[in-house]
A and B are shown apart, each in its own frame.
Chain A
């Protein structure tokens, strides 16, 4: 599989998971929240200072349709993480991968 095809397929999968499949996720409390409730420390939780953010709780402010609201928040989140993590990785990477260039030339020679 070519790198571009692989990358596009992976990104599409992430966007589908966050934008569409997330609607069907379980709404039960997660392990930590459940244990906190059972053992009696859930009440010590405080609201996040970002609770008023336009994407808080994976819902888009001003979008009434729950499916669209959640899907949009997921898609924005995926693109935000892709840009930040990809940009960070690009920034700290080794420059000029001579070793790989040679490998690729060898591959081309074989094919």
Chain B
């Protein structure tokens, strides 16, 4: 979903640039509450893993492919504000060094993948965590559904931006149907990868999973009660 330069006009690119700078600015303040000596290295590792995973395009049929966006994955593992920073770093390195995603489109890409992807993934995860059974086993499926929905959400927001500032005269409805349709399929891949990775970390080190902390606290209380 890396938007190249040229798809969107200058005013739209400036606007998404402002959104991206504001979001990263807020995230820099708020991430402090999520990060300590133990979790800061985890943030570096999660960003590195998302970069690596984004190199793996998987085929989704009809000569199309997709790759992990990683917003939901990062939000569940290190917290939503830290996730905004992690995905932004990945996108900046890709744009500056790999020519993956444009330079004037960097704000657009941060808005789509680091803001919309993280926000939708995290909010869906939190909503599901509230209704699912209060145990660690609920974390990977909740993360997967958040991941699944985050991809078409980002695709829909791209279409909105294209309707406002697209540089080619193409009917918005056609773009919306195709973008959301294909990105639901890519979202299934996103969900599978997210469930596997979150499941592995929950199994190995549940204390390092930000989204599992409320459940871990509940579990500790239960054990103490049983001992007493």
Interface residues, chain A, CB within 8 Å of chain B? 1, 3, 6-7, 10-11, 13-15, 17-18, 21-22, 25-32, 34-36, 38-41, 43-51, 53, 55-58, 73-74, 76-90, 92-94, 97, 100
B99 lies within 8 A of A57 (CB): yes
B166 lies within 8 A of A48 (CB): no
Distance from B96 Cβ to chain A, minimum over Cβ atoms (Å): 6
A25 lies within 8 A of B55 (CB): yes
Most chain A beta-carbon contacts within 10 A, residue among B32, B47, B162: B47
A82 lies within 8 A of B45 (CB): yes
| A53 partner residues in chain B, CB cutoff 8 A | 96-99
B1 lies within 8 A of A77 (CB): no
**12 A–B pairs (Cβ distance < 8 Å), ordered by A:** A14-B52, A15-B52, A28-B64, A31-B65, A31-B182, A36-B7, A46-B4, A53-B99, A81-B90, A87-B44, A90-B40, A92-B31
> Which of A1, A81, A93, A97 meets B48, CB within 8 Å?
A81
Bound Cα distance A73, B97 (Å): 9
A28 lies within 8 A of B6 (CB): no
A85 lies within 8 A of B205 (CB): no
| A88 partner residues in chain B, CB cutoff 8 A | 43, 85, 89
Q: What are the interface flags for B25-59 relative to A under an 8 Å C-beta threshold, 1 for contact and 0 otherwise?
A: 00010011101111111111111111111011111
Most chain B beta-carbon contacts within 10 A, residue among A6, A25, A41, A85: A85
Q: Which of B117-125, B139-147, B168-176 contacts A (4 or more CB under 8 A)?
A: B168-176
Interface status of B179 (Cβ within 8 A of chain A): yes
Distance from B33 Cβ to chain A, minimum over Cβ atoms (Å): 7
| B103 partner residues in chain A, CB cutoff 8 A | 48-50
A80 lies within 8 A of B93 (CB): yes
| B28 partner residues in chain A, CB cutoff 8 A | 92
